Amino acid sequence: MIRKLNVLSFILCCCTVACNNTSTEQPEGVRIVSLSPGITATVVDIGYGDFVVGRSSFCSAVDQDIPVVGDLLQVDYERLLRLAPSDVFVQTTSAGKDSHLATLADDGHFVLHSWRVDRLSDIKLLYRELSILLDGQEKQLEISFDQEGDQESQTILIMTTGSDGNPGLCFGRQTYLGDLLELMGTQNALQSDGWVMLSLEDIGKLQPELIVVVSDSAIPESSLVAINSLQIPIAPFVHSDALIPSSKIVDVANALQQLVSVE
């Protein structure tokens, strides 16, 4: 919903840390089209990026020369069929599966797989099921935090960078970054569920002790001007995988705890 709408489409439309194990024998006939950046990143993390033959325009984890087939909102079905995928991976949303993709799957063109990736538990399930499907063995995504100091007394608001003088999108409960805050023992200042756009006044009323501004690229000072006016401590959190819910959440979690522990 960003550029910030684009980030939300990552989120709504988006371990063992040593996940870069590549299979020594390539499964015969496996051709993957993934229409979710989070699922694509997890496929790569498991070691099967070379099997991706089609992607969405948001899937930055694979070779950008791989054809763009579409995303959750629009699919080029002719291009999809020309790629002759064995498996198509999509993200589950409240709108349900794309009916034409389901029909093509029912007609035997490919196997359609879908996962929800809103929450930390969703990402863990995605990783486990993809590891079984692709690698033939069940693997678990493990995230743990050291509980130390007065960290659990903190009230934190996590949000994306703003634009045009407006605040960004806030991560409430039942979101993957909201789940990380809970796992860390901190308090999410936003007790609403999901992703919420708040005004400066609303953010001020929440009275967070710390605002974590998250981005996948360098944060310009100009985008923090509005939030700085609240005179609440701000911690910029730049991480290439923070806005894409995938198995890379392990790295994101470690970096987030380190950031919060320092602040």
| Residue range 22-37, pLDDT digits in tens | 333 445 689 999 999 9
For residue 126, give the nearest of 108, 111, 138, 110 by alpha carbon: 138
CATH superfamily of 27-135: Nitrogenase molybdenum iron protein domain (3.40.50.1980)
Amino acid at 10: F
Alpha-carbon distance of 198 to 221, in angstroms, equals 20
Domain range annotation of the chain: 27-135, 151-262
For residue 5, give the nearest of 63, 71, 77 by alpha carbon: 71
Q: Do domains 27-135 and 151-262 have the same CATH topology?
A: yes
For residue 85, give the nearest of 110, 114, 48 by alpha carbon: 110
| Residue range 220-234, pLDDT digits in tens | 988 888 899 999 999
| Residue range 206-223, pLDDT digits in tens | 999 999 999 999 999 888
Question: For every one of its 263 residues, what pLDDT tens digit does the chain have, with 9 covering 90 and above?
Answer: 334 434 444 444 443 333 333 333 445 689 999 999 999 999 999 999 999 999 999 999 999 999 999 988 899 999 999 999 999 999 998 777 789 999 999 999 999 999 999 999 999 999 999 999 999 999 999 987 765 544 457 899 999 998 777 788 999 999 999 999 999 999 999 999 999 999 999 999 999 999 999 999 999 988 888 899 999 999 999 999 999 999 999 999 999 999 988 77
CATH class of 151-262: alpha beta
For residue 39, what are the CA distances in angstroms to 107, 121, 155, 171, 172? 24, 14, 31, 20, 22
Prediction pTM value: 0.85
